Structure 1
Amino acid sequence: MIHDQRAEKFRQIVENKYQIYNSLFMSLPYDKMTNIGMLLPFLCEESKIGYEAGKTPEEIVEEFFKNHTDLKTEDQKLELLFKIIQYIERQVVLFDSIEDAAFPTLHSESDNGTIVNLYERSLQDHKLEKVREKLKDFTVKIVFTAHPTQFYPNSVQRIIHDLRNAITTDSITNIDMLLQQLGKTPFVNKEKPTPVDEALSIIYYLRYVYYDTIGELFTKIKSIFGNDHFHLHEDIIQLGFWPGGDRDGNPFVTADVTKRVAEELRSAILKAYYNNLKSVRRRLSFRGVSEVLGTLSNELYLSIFRNEKITTEDIVKRIDEAEKILITEHNALFVDLLKDFKDRVRIFGTHFATLDIRQDSRIHQKVIDEVFTTVFGDIEANDEEKFNTLIKASKKINIDDFEDIVKDTLLSVSQVTEIQQQNGLRGMNRYIISNSDAVKDVMNVYAFFKICGYKEEDIHMDIVPLFETMEGLANAENVMQELYQNPIYKEHLKRRGNQQTIMLGFSDGTKDGGYLKANWGIYNAKEVLTRLSEENGIKVVFFDGRGGPPARGGGKTHDFYASQGKTIANNKIELTIQGQTITSIFGNKEQAKYNFEQLLTAGIENDVFKNSKKDLTEKERELIMELAEISYNKYSDLKAHPMFVPYLQEMSTLEYYGKTNIGSRPSKRGNGNELKFEDLRAIPFVGSWSQLKQNVPGFFGFGYAMNEMKKQGRFENVKELYKGSDFFKTLVLNSMMSMNKTYFPLTYYIKNNPKFGAFWNVLFDEYTLSKDIMLELTGFKMLQEEDPLSRKSVKIRERIVLPLLSIQQYALMKIQKGEGSRESYGKLVTRSLFGNINASRNSA
């Protein structure tokens, strides 16, 4: 019933508004874009009918030219297609803004997973004290990464922000003006953004969304759950930051860049305080209080513009001084304003978000090898002997003796103390190691600190291994066991409060092992590492490297975390968000607050409200393991198919990802011209399947595995598993979300291709099988039946971008045939790719 009401509301306030504003949009006087609004519906219709009739994208676009235009030359046709792309990009922004503006109306304060809902539930079940107990040390941390899954230029971001507000108030005049501005503002970065550009792009969100969101949410939790004995800790919601610190595969991130980004973060939070203080001072104009706050304002100003040092303690001390006068001399008038401001200072410190350093273990090994040879000459030593010798030698090296990546890696370690002095210890406190698969990967980083002259007690950094491949996940137990027993590392952990963060990567896991195997591999690794850490007296925190789509660990995040039972440590929920996830799930105050609440309550619920569906029985565990193994073998066969990489290279947009200028990082590892599977980065890999509308990593092998069970007469067991396990149910629903965003008719033409036809059929057969068997499993009549809002949103978005996909495929076909200007068609692919990336904010 509630589903139906929401779906109807969505129709009224999203679909209908989009129709109205889109018609306004179509009549606007754009540069060279007049009459596009009239032509576009024809291309849309030709595409829809054409694909269902089995026509190729080339036939559809050529028929569109013939039936609806009088264009003759290739240049004229290309010009029109570019204009259509620009037009659709702006339609996407319009739809995003309307959907975002509708968010508060479509979601209520007491929805499942909200703070209010948690409070009501805890009262009903007499669990209020248990919830308070869990809140005492529980934390949710969102870590922003610069991975390029969607990046509008800053100028467009600001228009989107203003457009959303204008739509909320239904201000037709403002909407009209902003749509005109949108029509004339370029969407494409001429140059690749630098890591500093990426950092500033996200700092915009920190200042204008998260400063207020987290501040207000903290106050809300405090007022709902607080009492005389319970005080909420300020680290309950934390922000992490990778742009400018994530060196993995990004040669443009240097020690200088990291330092600059740390300064930008510090400056941004101090500016936020300075502005906040202005509004506080407007009310607290009383004798004594006014003077103290005036002094604080001046101190913040000098710190922002003259770089004079100020600490969190300095700011809090001034606020306390003002509060004391306010209470003793002015009846505590407006004291809540001051307390609210002090909470924010405690939450954000002088760092705003914690800047992480990340680099690949193979680069670290290169650094260690070179340093070892420089210090000790050509002595024969294995990897373990190298790090041990360097740690024990306690010999500070001269960084200037080295060059390139070796010098820069050591510089980034040596400047940690300086950043911590400026931004506080919360400003930078961990070093993440990609591709960790051995003890040496962690100990090498410890050795860096020693050779850069740090004393043991001055290493205020957590060293975080990242396990991401199937092999890495399987090996994680041995690595951590050995580490926990290593006397040097044991002492380091003791100094760090016996807490160890372990990062697990969904993106590369799925790319490597397929959807079901990767999810099960990570779940399993968490269980094993939880048990192992407890045995060693270590509090373990899991940090999930998750992307937006289910194929990269995304999807319904609340359901995912709420489905993890008591066998997995639940001290903190920590995950990465990037690109379209930043803008679509945490992009404005209402959405960000709602989704922070969803994560927070998922973690609390897991401990407080026991539920048999969260814990796997031995029988369920064995069945998931069996399904995961079957699906892994099926996916491995696909990866081993001789056409797998050539298909992506020739038929998809893979090689155009690097040309979109949406991220500073190269789109593949390695320098060779020949493309190898292991060099593929997870984002272009998943994104290319998404652009083809095939979303293979989100389902492939899953349906096959279930069908094998059915053949064995064991499908009832799978149905029981779906009904009895929240974890398995979440995997199924997320996979169905991936499939709902596929559209195989777009590439029907490939089945007749002599080189790739057979391979395409393998993909299509698995999709058909997976869809049919999942509908049978769930009893649904259609994919995503349980989530009508998301389903409707996807449907409208797919309709908007269908002409864009036709243009992209048309250009790819021209390139494959060697017809016309390769350069022009290549640009067409890249531009339509950019538009599709931005459109698929809830993409798979």
Structure 2
Amino acid sequence: MTKGQPASDYVTIGFEKIERDLRFFIECLGEVLRELGHSDLASHLPWFGSDPTKFETEQVPGQIGLVYSIAFQILNMVEENAAAYVRTIRERESGLIAERGLWGERFAKLKAEGVPESVIGEMLARVRVEPVLTAHPTEAKRLAVLDQHRSLFALLSGPDRETLPNSELHSLRAKTKAALERLWRTGEILLEKPTLTDERRNVFHYLRDVFPSVLPALDERLEEAWVAAGFDASHLRDESKLPQVRFGTWVGGDRDGHPGVTAEVTAETLERLRANAFVVLRQQLVMLAEKLSLSQWMQPLPASLVAARDKLAESLGEKARAVLSTNTSEPWRQYVELMIDRLPIEIVPHRISQLRADPGSYERAEQLAADLGILRDSLVEVGAQRLADSDVRPVLRAVQLVGFHLAQLDIRQNSVFHVKALSQLMDASGLDGSQWEEWTENERLRFLEKELRSPRPFLHASASAGPEADAVLGCFRTLAAHIARYGADGIGALIVSMTRRLSDLLIVYVLAREAGLTRSLPEGLVCVLPVVPLFETLDDLEAAPSILGAFLDEPMTRRSLNFLAWNWGREKLSLTQQVMVGYSDSNKDSGIFASQWGLQKAQARLAQLGRDTGIRIRFFHGRGGTVSRGAGPTHRFLEALPNNSLSGDIRLTEQGETIAQKFGHFVTATYNLELLLAGVAATTIDHERSAPVTPPLAPVLERLSRASQQSYRRLLDAEDFITFYRQATPIDALEHSRIGSRPSRRTGNPSLADLRAIPWVFSWNQSRFYVPGWFGAGSGLKALTETELADIKDQLRTWPFLYYVLTNIEASIASTDLELMQAYADLVEDTSLRDRFMKIIIDEWNLTREMLEKLRGASMAERRPRMLRTLKLRADALRVLHLQEIHLLKKWRGYRKAGDEAAAEKMLPDLLLSINAIASGLRTTG
């Protein structure tokens, strides 16, 4: 864009792109349906067909759920592609500084604030981000369907149709229709619950096929923005000075309430992660060998390369003979091919690749990285710096990314399960553990601390103590065996869900001792894996600093942190304690504002504890896919973190359908990971440039939080609330769904406390109440004085936390639909009960909307037209699905009430398909 030229209307450009692409794909879908004999369905297609609001529920064809689900998936992809399209135009016209939250804008802002280049460069080397992919039951689509969506997106994001000649346009239309027909014939509904193998295969797709290909693009965009900011390009030539991105996973390790995650599943998962890491590295090396066709007749042959090649050949023995007999004039290629042969994996076409351990095989990723370093240096020596940078460095970065383990597997278990395991061990060893729950915390700690002064286990390794004890110890022994064979790089942490007291953490040390996960040093026992508390409820978040402080004071904790830092270099020789904070249960128990404020306070106090003790706190954020479970724009989320709580190092969960939404396609994955990396770097610099302070409005927010929590709890604690909730939302249908391998309840008890936060949120979203995302906020704001409200209004733009939370609450309010809420509420059999709760909910909805508009000084329609336009695009089509779901729910419940389970089971797929289609339209489940 030339100087003085007005900026393009990017909103209009984006929506015009959406309309063009949506029309093309919906027309193709309509043609496919008509050609397959489904003209009635084609006539019901949204947006460019008949007006969907004219159809009565009984007139809608049974398969309309599948049609609309596909249509909404098309819309989702079209919107995603349009966003990338607009970003490209904006950057082309205004430069890299134009896109909020990315490297270009972050560097420009830091530079304008006077931050020296040296400080920014030093921070880049300290940045380490680790998204952790989990398989919570929020992904409502079949894995085969996700594969078809990827194929469609590739067609959508290809060359602009407007520029294609007729022959290519005809070909594109034919390919699009073929992809849509495959999707139609595949079907979306999960008729059987996915297995852990299914979930693992899906996660491996991202870890193996997406992230390694995205990493070079991330580095290129960083370097481009760095140079555009006027910084020294040579600074980033050394890969050790680049930000580090790693990945973790819970699939195969998260056993909290999941009986299917056995020790055998964990062992297999660790093996498959390792095997897939070698698949990635082999692909990288094969491509590198093809590129390095340098002839020794065109440049001098470095002696260092000859020596390294001969050393590799010697280590491989006879296997090296075939490599050295070919490409004899291309020593660089030979060297890479020898590295390929040194990888401990056997690639078998159309089968799962198998690990092997031949003499001379690599044992550690550092060995491969060292050989690649020699290769790079040899290229620099002959003047081929460009090839060293463009060809070898991306492979070195891939080694950093995947290591020999692909991703770190966390092991998560509930504290209650650990207590049962310890009680069984005590009983089996002749101690009375049956009364453990009756012991005071001081009595528990005396017992545990005494045990941890001794290296001897309770029982022989072959002895059985009980189901919980055998399950925990079986898992821990699997980890110990893996570490003995391969090292600990592939294992993340031992995460303790529902950490409520110090003893919950020390129990894990005792169980680790029993299973061989401890080492006996002269100064005492150490645990060879990090033990990580997970603080989830509001009460637990409040107690978190005192619990963690006591844990860090434990001698075994200090010894273990030292061991992890020095022996395995996990934390770059700094003492680091990882702490996980959960967004879901605090919200479920206390409401959106109290939860967010509780998390804010807890993190600030935990970070201060780290500074006081000299131990770096690495926060692990257990975020979900909705506002009520911690979701929100990445850059806004990072900026909203408490000051001085971010140290350049962060872990955060990516759950369910958000994985596909954020990383399903190359361009989207690149964008979201850049947002994360750039945001962590810039926010950490901001944190370290200012001293921690208590926000001046903290007392006001404390009052707001208490009042909002009280309002929320009055709703949940009201007499017969569970009856209203279970009849006004499709929670009973969700409990019969096939959307995840894990049960929807932790123990199976039919209580609100036992219900997981995910189906809790999913059910409210499906019925368009969105209660967890806004309820109580209006009452909280109403409880403040006019002066306090004026203070909040003044700081709304300058305090990122306040802006982030209230903006997210407003987005939840915008997603509600009063008419549909009432339609779902009409399912409640007792009209007086229905009317009582609907009055409470609608009164709070009106109050929340009123108070938000008072703070903002204008309506949502005036301030957020793009968001409302996006919601409006979906509204009519969603209404058809909601009304169909209500009709199906009523009928299904009638069968169940009459005891006709066969009839209910027969219609369940239609009901679940309706749920799935609505989730596609809302772009969220739980």
Contact 1:276 1:341 in 2 (8 A): yes
Contact preservation (8 Å) 2:733, 2:912: yes
CA 614–104 in structure 1, closer or farther in 2 if over 3 Å, else same? farther
**Which residue of structure 1 aligns with residue 844 of structure 2?**
766
1:467 paired residue number: 535
| CA deviations over 1:57-110 (Å, ceiling 9, x no partner) | xxx414x46xxxxxxxxxxxxxx32x1111111112222222233232122443
Q: For residue 913 of structure 2, what is the amino acid of its counterpart?
A: R
The answer to whether the aligner puts 1:93 opposite 2:82 as a matched pair is no
**Alpha carbons of 1:48 and 1:704: their partners in 2 closer, same or farther (altered >3 Å)?**
farther
Q: TM-score, normalised by structure 1?
A: 0.90
Q: Distance in 2 between matches of 1:210 and 1:229?
A: 24
Would the alpha carbon gap of residues 411 and 628 (structure 1) be closer, same or farther in structure 2, given more than 3 Å must change? same
User: 3-state SS of the aligned residue for 1:500?
Assistant: strand
Q: More deviation in 553-562 or 325-334?
A: 325-334
- The one-letter code matched in structure 1 to 2:920 is N
The one of 709, 733, 737 aligned to 1:660: 737
Residues 355-403 of structure 1: CA distance to partner in whole angstroms, max 9, x if unpaired?
A: 1000000000111111122123337874334433442342233343225
**What's the offset of the Cα at 1:631?**
0.2
How many equivalent residue pairs? Answer: 815
Matched AA of 1:290:
R
2:588 aligns to what?
511
| 578-587 or 325-334, larger mean C-alpha shift | 325-334
Are the counterparts in 1 of residues 344 and 356 from structure 2 also a CA contact under 8 Å? no
Is the 1:549–1:738 Cα contact (8 Å) retained in structure 2? no
Percent pairwise identity = 23
Q: Structure 1, residues 409-441: CA drift from partner, whole Å, max 9, x if none?
A: 112112223334566533113110000011111
Letter in 2 for 1:158: D
Partner in structure 2 of residue 440 of structure 1: 503
Which residue type is aligned with residue 203 of structure 2? I
Partner residue of 1:119?
107
The CA distance in 2 between the partners of 1:190 and 1:827, in whole Å, is 7
Contact kept in structure 2, 1:514 and 1:631, CA below 8 Å = yes
Correspondence for 2:476: 413
Indicate which of 892, 899, 913 corresponds to 1:831: 913
**SS of residue matched to 1:144:** strand
Partner residue in 2 for 1:348 = 402
What is the SS of the residue equivalent to 1:352?
Answer: coil
Rounded Cα–Cα distance in structure 1 between residues aligned with 2:873 and 2:743: 32
Q: Distance in 1 between matches of 2:22 and 2:646?
A: 44
Q: Residue deviations 1:520-549, cap 9 Å, x none?
A: 001000111111221111111111111111
Report the secondary structure of 2:735's partner residue.
Answer: helix
- Determine if contact 2:249/2:409 at 8 Å carries over to the other structure: yes
Aligned residue runs from structure 1 range 361-760, under 5 A: 361-378=415-432, 382=439, 383-396=444-457, 397-402=459-464, 403-420=466-483, 424-453=487-516, 454-456=518-520, 459-497=527-565, 498-609=575-686, 618-672=695-749, 675-709=750-784, 714-749=788-823, 750=825, 753-760=831-838
Q: TM-score, normalised by structure 2?
A: 0.83
C-alpha spacing 1:85/1:616, structure 2 compared with 1 (3 Å) = farther
Q: 2:236 matched to 1:159?
A: no
Residue of structure 2 in register with 1:213 after alignment: 214
**Which residue does 2:132 correspond to in 1?**
143
Greater shift, 1-10 or 125-134, is seen at 1-10
Q: Match of 1:836, as an amino acid?
A: I
1:56 maps to none
Deviations 1:272-291 (A, max 9, x none): 22222222222212321111
Give the Cα separation in 2 of the matches to 1:343 and 1:713. Answer: 54
Deviation at 1:614, TM superposition (A): 11
Match of 2:337 among 294, 299, 315: 294
Distance 1:306 1:572 in 2: 32
1:74 corresponds in structure 2 to none
Q: Give yes or no for contact 1:142–1:574 (8 Å, CA) kept in 2.
A: yes
The question of 1:781 aligning with 2:859 is answered: yes
Cα shift at 1:632: 0.6
1:476 positional shift: 0.9
Distance 1:685 1:808 in 2: 18
Residue range with higher mean Cα deviation, 698-707 or 382-391 = 382-391
The Cα shift of 1:709 comes to 2.3
Which residue number in structure 2 is paired with residue 248 of structure 1? Answer: 256
Residue 295 and residue 31 in structure 1: after superposition, are their counterparts in 2 closer, same or farther (change >3 A)?
A: same
**SS in structure 2 of the partner of residue 676 of structure 1:** coil
Confirm or deny that 1:268 pairs with 2:276. yes
Residue 314 of structure 1, aligned match among 362, 367, 376? 367
521-530 or 615-624: which moved more? 615-624
Q: CA deviation at 1:313?
A: 2.2
Structure 1 unpaired stretches of 5+: 51-59, 66-79
The alpha carbon displacement at 1:7 in A equals: 1.8
Cα offset, 1:773, TM superposition = 1.8
- Give the equivalent residue in structure 2 for 1:28: 32
Query: Shift in Å at residue 763 of structure 1?
Result: 1.0
How far apart are the structure 1 equivalents of 2:146 and 2:485? 30
- What's the offset of the Cα at 1:680? 1.0
Instruction: Work out the CA distance in 1 between the residues paired with 2:234 and 2:8.
Output: 43
**CA distance in 2: counterparts of 1:44 and 1:708, whole angstroms:** 48
Alpha-carbon shift at residue 843 of structure 1 (Å): 6.4
1:37-48 matches, within 5 Å, as: 37-40=42-45, 48=53
CA distance in 2, matches of 1:717, 1:734: 20
Residue 213 of structure 1, CA deviation: 1.3
Which of 808-817 and 203-212 deviates more? 808-817
Question: In the alignment, what sits opposite 2:169?
Answer: none
- Whether the 8 Å CA contact 1:467–1:473 is kept in 2: the answer is yes
Instruction: Give yes or no for contact 2:212–2:401 (8 Å, CA) kept in 1.
Output: no
Distance 1:574 1:611, change over 3 A: closer
Matches within 5 A, 1:802-821: 802-816=879-893, 821=903
Question: Do 1:103 and 1:590's aligned partners in 2 also have CA atoms closer than 8 Å?
Answer: no
Candidates 285, 293, 297, aligned match of 2:293: 285
Q: Is the Cα–Cα contact under 8 Å of residues 544 and 576 in structure 1 kept in the other structure?
A: yes
Cα deviation 1:695-717 (Å, max 9, x = unaligned): 0010001011112326x664323
Q: What is the root-mean-square deviation in Å for CA atoms of aligned residues? A: 2.9
Change over 3 Å in CA distance of 1:545–1:99 after alignment to 2: same
- Within 2, Cα distance between the matches of 1:415 and 1:7? 54
Residues 512 and 154 of structure 1: is their aligned pair in 2 closer, same or farther, counting only changes over 3 Å? same
CA distances 1:449-494 after superposition (whole Å, capped 9, x unpaired):
2112331467331110000011111111221121122222222223
Between the aligned partners of 1:725 and 1:42, the Cα distance in structure 2 is 40
Q: Which amino acid aligns with 1:17?
A: D
1:803 Cα shift?
1.6
Q: Secondary structure at the match of 1:659?
A: coil
Q: Greater relative contact order (Cα 8 A, min sep 6): structure 1 or 2?
A: 1
Which residue is equivalent to 1:105?
Answer: 85
In structure 2, the CA distance between the partners of 1:573 and 1:791, relative to structure 1 (3 Å rule), is farther
User: 2:311 maps to which residue?
Assistant: none
1:134 deviates by 1.9
Counterpart Cα distance in 2 of 1:768 and 1:206: 45
How far residue 665 of structure 1 moved from its aligned partner, in angstroms, is 0.3
Q: C-alpha distance in 1, partners of 2:687/2:427? A: 56
Distance 2:860 2:668 in 1: 27
Equivalent pair of 1:293/1:318 in contact (CA under 8 Å): no
CA distance in structure 1 between the aligned counterparts of 2:687 and 2:598, rounded to whole angstroms: 24
Residue 314 of structure 1 and its aligned partner are, at CA, apart by 2.8
Aligned with 2:247: secondary structure? strand
Contact 1:240–1:353 (8 Å) recurs in 2: yes
Check conservation: 2:243, 2:677, Cα contact below 8 A: no
